[in-house]
Structures are given as C-alpha cells and as structure tokens.
Amino acid sequence: MTETNKFVVEINSLSSYPDTLISNFMITKSQTHTEQVKAYADMIKARRAAEQKAREDKITNKLGRKAAKEAQRKAEAIALLKTDIKAKFVDKCTGVEEILKQEITEVDGWS
C-alpha cells in the first residue's frame, strides 16, 4: 500500500470508530428499554390476573358461605321436624307387653 492509501484507511477506520461506539450504545440502550417495557407489561399483566383471581375468589367464597348458611338452615329444619315427629307420634304411643293384646286392624281399616 502506498503511504496515502494507508493514511486514508486509517482515517476511515478512525472515523468509523465513533460511529461504532454510538451504534453499540444505541443498540444497548434500545435493548435495555425493550426489556424494561416488557417487564413492565408483564408486571401489569400479572397484577391484572391477580385482581381477576381475587374477584373470582371473593365470588366463590360468597357462594360457599351462602351454601353453608342454606345447609345449616336445612339441617335446623330437619332437626325441628324430627323433634315434632317424636313429640307428636313417638312419645304419645303406649307400649303393650304382649303382641296378642294389641288391636289388629286390616289395611282397609276394618277389624
């Protein structure tokens, strides 16, 4: 290479060095920004999913409490019915020592 060509190559390489630095800096900043934007979007997405899950859990818990109250009411009604049946029918009956002393009635109600 001649002396002038060598000088031109050196100048071109020196002038491209700042361009390379700036280009690399911009690429790095762009990648960092892209990662931060994605991380923020993921955070928002996770927060919205958590809020949706909280709403669904609240509804589920409410329905569960409602079902439990209904089951308790039903159990109380059944217990009341059992005590009424016991008081009205079971406690009023009289026991007979021997089976032959009981009145025999046909199914149609006639003796």
Per-residue pLDDT of the chain (111 residues; tens, 9 = 90+): 555 555 445 555 556 666 777 888 888 999 999 999 999 999 999 999 999 999 999 999 999 999 999 999 999 999 999 999 998 888 887 766 776 666 766 667 665
Residue 74 domain-assigned (yes or no): no
Residue 12 belongs to what domain range? 3-66
111, 104 in Cβ contact below 8 A? Answer: yes
**Domain assignment of residue 54, yes or no:** yes
**106: its two tokens:** 């046909």
**What DSSP character marks residue 110?**
-
User: Looking at the 3D structure of the chain, how many domains does it have?
Assistant: 1
pTM for the model stands at 0.50
Encoding tokens for residue 103? Answer: 């009145």
**Angle CA(57)–CA(62)–CA(66) in degrees, nearest 5?**
145
Residue of 40, 39, 36, 17 whose CA lies nearest to 28: 36
Q: Is residue 62 part of a domain?
A: yes
Does residue 38 fall inside a structural domain? yes
